[in-house]
Amino acid sequence: MDNNKVSNRKRIYAKEEVCIGCRLCEVHCVVAHSQYKNDIVKAYKKSPQRPLSRILVEETRPVSFGLQCRHCDDPKCVKACITGAMQQDPDTGIVTNDESRCIGCWTCILACPYGVIKRDFKGRKVASKCDFCIDLGGSPACVKNCPNEALYVDEVRVLNNEESKEKGGTAK
């Protein structure tokens, strides 16, 4: 084996002990993926087809937490995708769905172990999931706007996508 690529992969984690179930993460995710990224009011009132939130909040009081795509080291959705629309960036590890090529077969939903892919019925009927806010420079809107610091980004050093991993970067 001669490829010893090391990359820093980022992942968002939730702290259920301090998640207050307000769902502001969902609000900001919707805004971040709308055409009015800086205007919450317009994003909600003017968007002809308001985007789905890519973060999912699970709640059975008093427990709640947000969950979104883990951008896995071994992305089952990418390997299961029948059209090749689901792709992983080899450097950042971020998994995105090319909605222009997605046909809504839901094989990724079948494969995703976290169940974080949603069915988007507006328009073409495609699979919708977290893209780590790459359009906003990779600073996830949900993490930034959580009022109780219940979401955080952790960096993991990954060696060639394989087994040996060391936690590096800003591990909490």
Partner 1 sequence: MSYVIIGNSTAAVGAIEGIRKYDSSTPVTVVSDEPYHTYSRPLISYYLGGKVTKENMIYRPLDFYQRNNIRTMLGIKAMSVDYSNKTVLLENGEKLGYSKLLLATGGKPFIPPMGGLDKKNIFNFIKMDDVKAIEKVAVRGSKAVVIGASFSGLKAVEALVKRNVSVTVIDIMSRIMPRVLDDTAAAIAAKTLKDHDVKVLLNNTVETILGEDTAAGVLLKDGTKIDCDFIILAIGVRCNTDLVKDSGIKINRGIVVDEKMQTSIPDVYAAGDVAEGYNFIEEKMMEIAIIPNAYYQGETAGANMTGGNKTFNDGFIMNSMPLLDLPIISAGISEDREGIEVISKFEPEKDTYKKFYISDNRLVGYLLINEVDRAGIYTDMIRNQSDITALKTSLGAEGFGFINFPKDMRKEKMQKGGAA
Partner 2 sequence: MSLDYSTSEFTINRDKDRCIDCQVCVRQCANEAHYYDDEEQKVCSDEHKCVNCHRCVTLCPTRALSIKKHELEFRANANWTENAIKDIYKQAATGGILLTGMGNDRPYPIYWDHMLLNASQVTNPSIDPLREPMELKTFLGRKPESLKVENGKLAEKLPPQLELEIPIMFSAMSFGSISLNACKSMAQTAYENGIMYNTGEGGLHRDLYKYGRNTIVQVASGRFGVHPGYLNAGAAIEIKIGQGAKPGIGGHLPGEKVEAEVSLTRMIPQGSDAISPAPHHDIYSIEDLRQLIFALKEATNYTKPISVKIAAVHNVAAICSGIARAGADIIAIDGYRGGTGAAPTRIRDNVGIPVELALAAVDTRLRDEGIRNQVSIVCGGSVRNSADIIKAIALGADAVYIASSALLTMGCHMCQKCYTGKCNWGIATQDPNLTKRLNPEIAVKRLTNLLHAWSHEMKEMLGGMGINAIESLRGNRHMLRGIGLSDRDLNILGIKAAGE
CB nearer partner 1, residue 43 or residue 71: 71
CB nearer partner 2, residue 24 or residue 105: 24
CB nearer partner 2, residue 26 or residue 99: 26
Q: Under the rule (CB under 8 A), what is the footprint of partner 1? A: 1-3, 9, 11, 13-14, 16, 56, 58-60, 63-65, 67, 70-74, 76, 79-84, 100-101, 103-107, 109-115, 117-119, 156, 160-163, 165
Burial of 99 (0-12, 13-18, 19+ CB in 10 A): middle
110 counts as binding partner 2 under rule CB under 8 A = no
- Buried-state track 154-172, b at ≥16 Cβ within 10 A, e below 16: eebebeebeeeeeeeeeee
CB nearer partner 2, residue 27 or residue 109: 27
Binders of partner 2 among 111-170, rule CB under 8 A?
A: 145, 147-150
Q: From partner 2, partner 1, none, which one binds at residue 18 (CB under 5 to 8 Å depending on kind)? A: partner 2
> Residue 85: which H helix or E strand, with range?
none
Assign residue 57 a region (left: φ > 0; alpha: ψ between -120 and 50; beta: otherwise).
Answer: beta
- Residue 20 contacts by C-beta under 8 Å, 6 or more apart in sequence? 64, 147, 148, 150
